[in-house]
Chains A and B, each alone.
Chain A
């Protein structure tokens, strides 16, 4: 395990509005992309890494250890600002992995939640701990290259991870296609799957799983418990995720409970 250090806060704290969006959707995208030069270095490292390190499956930080550029990416202030707002000052890097999907790969991955979740319950658990998966796309990923597919809002549902494979498509599913240099911060329980790569080039995506090392309370720019802007935001977006249908109101209640917990100021303390 690797503890991240050397970060800066020069971009300020994660805002309450950003955190509210994360609570609702289960993911947030980095607002300032990784510079092109760094992306190019990472892509070059990915294309030239030793094949044995890529496929052994035993060394879960093989690419992280191999590429200085990828370490630089994750030290960027715009990355650290969001990471620390979600996870606290010293999140633990549980593991990382470079996902490579060769061109012409026609088969999609099944919907799943990482670390098969057969009995874990998010909802109602105290404290409201969560892990973060960061998804870094070092190059442009148009739809035909099949970037990760996610289901916004799904992190608030309890599910047996493997059973998700039975589903194929949902209203509201989101393809993470777009330009290179994007990093998505995903709640660890967000439903997702890799997509076919119909292009002729390999697709690279670098993922890190972070564990919190403290309670996830008051880590962002907290606001008053009755902040009217946040209240209105949650009210306005109660039907944001069409696929939730009849459970919208129940999920909205849990959103409020989680918000009351995470927006509490001055309660952060190291985990036992």
Chain B
């Protein structure tokens, strides 16, 4: 998460600072007033062990 309300002197969200996801699903986040943008699914059909972009990616944004 990138939060502009966090001051420059403080640390943004980083690896290891949350062991549990804040929501069980994107739908749950929507119920808590997050806006959702689903990024386009680019044409790729990788096998499980090839690298590539994320196929089902969502961007969540919230204004308080």
Interface of A toward B, CB cutoff 8 Å: 106-111, 121, 123-124, 146, 149, 157-160, 163, 167-169, 171, 173, 175, 193, 195-196, 247, 250-251, 254
Q: A173 — which chain B residues lie within 8 A by C-beta?
A: 16, 19
Q: B17 — which chain A residues lie within 8 A by C-beta?
A: 108, 168-169
18 A-B interface contacts by CB (under 8 A): A107-B14, A108-B15, A108-B16, A110-B15, A111-B15, A121-B49, A149-B16, A158-B51, A167-B15, A168-B14, A168-B15, A171-B20, A175-B19, A193-B16, A195-B15, A196-B11, A196-B14, A250-B49
User: Which 7 residue pairs across A and B have the least CB separation, nearest first?
Assistant: A108-B14, A158-B49, A123-B49, A149-B16, A108-B15, A250-B48, A169-B18
Check B43 for interface membership: any CB of A closer than 8 A. no
Check B30 for interface membership: any CB of A closer than 8 A. no
Q: Across the interface, do B15 and A149 meet the contact criterion of CB distance under 8 Å?
A: yes
Least Cβ–Cβ distance between B41 and chain A, in angstroms: 16
Task: Say what secondary structure dominates the interface of chain A.
Answer: loop
Q: A195 — which chain B residues lie within 8 A by C-beta?
A: 15-16
Q: Across the interface, do B49 and A124 meet the contact criterion of CB distance under 8 Å?
A: yes
User: Within residues 14 to 40 of chain B, which ones have a CB less than 8 A from any CB in chain A?
Assistant: 14-21
Q: Across the interface, do B50 and A169 meet the contact criterion of CB distance under 8 Å?
A: no
Q: A158 vs B51: C-alpha distance in the bound complex, in angstroms? A: 6
Least Cβ–Cβ distance between B2 and chain A, in angstroms: 10
Q: Which residue of B lies closest to A122 (CB)?
A: B49
Most chain B CB atoms below 10 A, which of A108, A157, A193: A108
User: Which of A108, A146, A158, A250 interacts with B50 by CB under 8 Å?
Assistant: A158
Given contacts A168-B13, A169-B21, 6 further A-B contacts (CB under 8 A): A168-B17, A169-B16, A169-B18, A169-B19, A171-B20, A173-B16
Q: Across the interface, do A163 and B15 meet the contact criterion of CB distance under 8 Å?
A: no
Q: B21 — which chain A residues lie within 8 A by C-beta?
A: 169, 171
Q: Which residue of B lies closest to A112 (CB)?
A: B15
Q: B6 — which chain A residues lie within 8 A by C-beta?
A: none
User: Within residues 42 to 64 of chain B, which ones have a CB less than 8 A from any CB in chain A?
Assistant: 48-51
Q: B20 — which chain A residues lie within 8 A by C-beta?
A: 171
Q: Given A108-B14, A168-B1, A168-B14, do A247 and B19 touch, yes or no (CB 8 Å)? A: no
Q: A175 vs B20: C-alpha distance in the bound complex, in angstroms? A: 13
Least Cβ–Cβ distance between B20 and chain A, in angstroms: 7
Q: B19 — which chain A residues lie within 8 A by C-beta?
A: 169, 171, 173, 175
Q: Across the interface, do B48 and A247 meet the contact criterion of CB distance under 8 Å?
A: yes
Q: Across the interface, do B51 and A175 meet the contact criterion of CB distance under 8 Å?
A: no
Q: A247 — which chain B residues lie within 8 A by C-beta?
A: 48
Q: A107 — which chain B residues lie within 8 A by C-beta?
A: 11, 14
Q: Across the interface, do B51 and A163 meet the contact criterion of CB distance under 8 Å?
A: yes
Q: A107 vs B16: C-alpha distance in the bound complex, in angstroms? A: 10
Q: B16 — which chain A residues lie within 8 A by C-beta?
A: 108, 146, 149, 169, 173, 175, 193, 195-196
Q: Which residue of B lies closest to A244 (CB)?
A: B48
Q: A121 — which chain B residues lie within 8 A by C-beta?
A: 49
Least Cβ–Cβ distance between B59 and chain A, in angstroms: 13
Q: A160 — which chain B residues lie within 8 A by C-beta?
A: 51
